[in-house]
Amino acid sequence: MKKVRLEIVGLSYSQTQSGAYALVLGESEGTRRLPIIIGGFEAQAIAIELEKMKPNRPLTHDLFKNFSESFGITVSEILIYNLVEGIFYAKLVCKNAENEVEIDARTSDAIALAVRFNCPIYTYEFILKSAGIVLDEEGNLPSSASEPVVKDTAISTSESSDNDYKNKSTEELKNLLEIALDEEQYELASKIRDEINLRKAS
């Protein structure tokens, strides 16, 4: 079966499931999008790596990567290979010097590892046909789409408003960033870091 390469194009709160997130994958050479509902922990794990944030201690997916590389194993690709009753099925294609092995995985975990191993994500044409959403002529999701997408934006769950951070000094923000990282509040840390970066750019 022909494989279609996908890229991560969006991560947002799910409007249909409380406490969940919508991860949106898009075909590299096309306009179709594949929305996948994932849990908060997995969304956090993906967002942290996409934002190049470094937690003080390795998270589960970081530990997997460190363990694998220590034994000469790499993940060469992720394949979302089936869709049954609304559930996506994925596998890791792992290689070492001698063997190639496919390992079953939850799709959210597989993608969290894909961003860490910097490996491609693929699916099959029949999955895109059955679950994909086609963008309109202007490149937007149709209004009938069940999940709104925030493209290229990190998750943000902080109850503080943006003005709270704008009123703080850069030094205070750096202290808050350290505290958020220590407490593993990575969505909050991402928001604080964005404010610090905005100040550096201005």
DSSP structural state of residue 89: E
CB 23 within 8 A of CB 11: yes
What pLDDT, on a 0 to 100 scale, did the predictor assign at position 186? Answer: 61
What pLDDT, on a 0 to 100 scale, did the predictor assign at position 140? Answer: 53
Query: How large a percentage of the chain has pLDDT more than 90?
Result: 36
Mean pLDDT of 142-163: 40
Mean pLDDT of 164-192: 72
pLDDT at 91 over 90: yes
CB 43 within 8 A of CB 109: no
State pLDDT tens for residues 108-146. Answer: 999 999 999 999 999 999 999 888 887 655 555 554 444
Separation CA 195–CA 118 (nearest Å) = 27
Q: Sorting pLDDT into bands at 50, 70 and 90, what band is 5?
A: very high
Angle at CA 34, nearest 5°, toward 104 and 24? 90
CB 123 within 8 A of CB 77: no
Mean pLDDT, the chain, integer: 80
Separation CA 157–CA 193 (nearest Å) = 14
What pLDDT, on a 0 to 100 scale, did the predictor assign at position 144? Answer: 45
User: Which position has the token pair 């995985």?
Assistant: 105
Contacts of 14 (CB under 8 A, 6+ apart): 20, 21, 22, 37, 147
- Which comes out higher in pLDDT, residue 149 or 202? 202
Question: Helix, strand, coil % (nearest 5) of the chain?
Answer: 35, 30, 35
CB 121 within 8 A of CB 26: no
Q: Domains, the chain, ranges and CATH?
A: 3-134 (3.10.690.10), 162-201 (no CATH)
- Which comes out higher in pLDDT, residue 88 or 138? 88
Q: Which two tokens stand for residue 25?
A: 């994958």
State pLDDT tens for residues 98-110. Answer: 899 999 999 999 9
The closest of 65, 119, 111 to 88, measured between CA atoms, is 111
The pTM of this model reads 0.67
What pLDDT, on a 0 to 100 scale, did the predictor assign at position 53? Answer: 86
Contacts of 117 (CB under 8 A, 6+ apart): 65, 74, 75
pLDDT at 37 over 70: yes
